[in-house]
Structure 1
Amino acid sequence: MSQFLNASDAARRLGISTKALRLYEERGLLAPIRSNAGWRAYRPEDLERASEIVALRALGFSLAQVARILKGDASGLEPALAAHQASLEGRLRELVEAIDGVRALRGDLAHGGAPTTSDLARMLVLKPGLHVAFALPWPWGGETFELRDIRPLTYITGPLGSGKTRLAMRIAEQIGGVFLALDRAADPSLQLKIEATVGLLVQDGATDTAALRALLCALEASQPVVVDLIEQGLDRATQEALIAHLRRRTPGVPPLFVMTRSSSILDLDALGPDETVLFCPANHAPPFRVAPYPGAPGYEALASCLATPEVRARSEGVIAVRR
């Protein structure tokens, strides 16, 4: 059995969680053998298959798309690859701009000029992004909250009563965005515009519902959008198809903030470089960014407040009351 790995060792080698491995098995993507004691054992071919799944997930594919690709079905590959190419080209443009800036500074040095401290500091950031700073509302004590280099996709999460809704509303106000509350409805004037997207999501396993259409219509806004509990009214397959679609949005679109407590929306093993997680602690300490790596500050608390859509459905409608 020396060539086999247990779940912990296999997950560590792949750079994912054991939870992700169990999810792949649940979806029929992996089939590890069992030891005499009933423990999962991963063979070299299981690890190879799992690494392919991890790579496809990193490209933004949902688990439904991964299953089709592994079976040889290439349908749906084109829009996903096109979006990934656009993202890479956007990063390439940023790198070219940064290289041009460094070249200009070196040219100044060659001619006796000295760059300022601010010139050098700008070299540390490829492309300074949108940022906000404001005093936190209740239930915080007015502490200053600052969010720099806002990414295309930001998740806001935390336990019940942690203040994440108020934080989301204040962010929307500060960046001149739209706050999409839970009582949302599709804009009839945008129905034709979202038909193609609805078709792609349904192909990826989503269910065509009023809740899904209301979300897609709201995302057509020309300004940033902050969504309250994006998973509201969506089943697991729809959530997975939706978040895979949002990860493939065209570079340059307004930033999107989504509140969530669903592990299908906020999959910690699938986060990419263009995504940020903001966590609101239960003790009302100021919200902070959490890196999606076990052992990072706040990671365990973050993971503990996320649940599958089935578990979330049991607590839907629960409201935390603070006297």
Structure 2
Amino acid sequence: MSFNLLPLFPLFFLLPYSTPQLLTTECGARLASGRYATTAIYDESDSIYIIGGIPYGDYEISRYSITSDEISIVARLPSNRAAGTMSIDTQGSIYYHGGVQNGQYGRNDIFKYIPGNINPVRAIGVIPWYNFNSVAFPSWEDPNNIFILGGSLYKEVIILFNQTSSTSARVGLLPTEYNLQAGVSDGAGSAYLFVNVEGGIPSVVKFNMTSFQVEAEAPILGGFSFKGTPHSVWDGRNAWIVGGYGNWTTGPRPNSILKFDPESMQSEIVLVENFPVSAENVTYLSETNPVWVEANNRIYFFGGYTRNTPGSNQIIHDKIWYIQLP
């Protein structure tokens, strides 16, 4: 395997941390209860659908209205799920793939929810393996084909799920040395994967979704480390990571989000005022689920938990926030 390893520029060590560059706004709506490891998807209109989470509640599918800032439970899964992936087809039907049940059992079911349909949510197929904490995005050639990459149980698999036929199959493999943390598609044939590298430092990998080969790799930032579980969004130009990291001594502070520029393969920390961590920056946010809304250029994120250090007591959130991008 050959690829270009890009240098880590000293500029990253000199990032300012004094003046927030973006603002977090707390929405009026609340989730039905505090939860983390939800999965959310935008319908390209006015609705964001949020599914599952821990603790498991009533297996809700909730609809958040962007214009009215209201949330309601619209359906329920047949069984509880968390940390799965979601997709939406060209007809507006929503799919939930895999996930974990009861906090410990990986699952491979694919559930289909049709907004406005009174019929119960049902399983319409399976992915080839039990898995959760994967990354999913549509093919740039056919939005009804969904790539599902990696996961906690099968870290290297690449699955293609066809929403039209409700079938799925393994189509490739990720390099085994990568522990996938988050990832986005640029909609043009490349994926940018945020990974922990065995024996190395956290990096961004440019991955060709046709050849399934690594094209470039760059370290994220000096002093950067993942803590908890991060999630990422693509805004049409850049990738953003929300939550799941922090380094209180030498690197990025948790009251920030990470911005990644695919053209330069460079990352930068963007400080965010009112970000849901403690004023002293001794807590970090994890397992929230961000969604980018093109109509107002905002990142909405739902629930999650904050804690001081990995393994310490956690505070589970029922809040909904958004960050207005420039």
Q: Same fold (TM over 0.5)?
A: no
Higher helix share: 1
- TM value normalised by structure 1: 0.25
Q: Tell me which protein shows more strand as a share of its residues.
A: 2
TM (norm. structure 2) is: 0.25
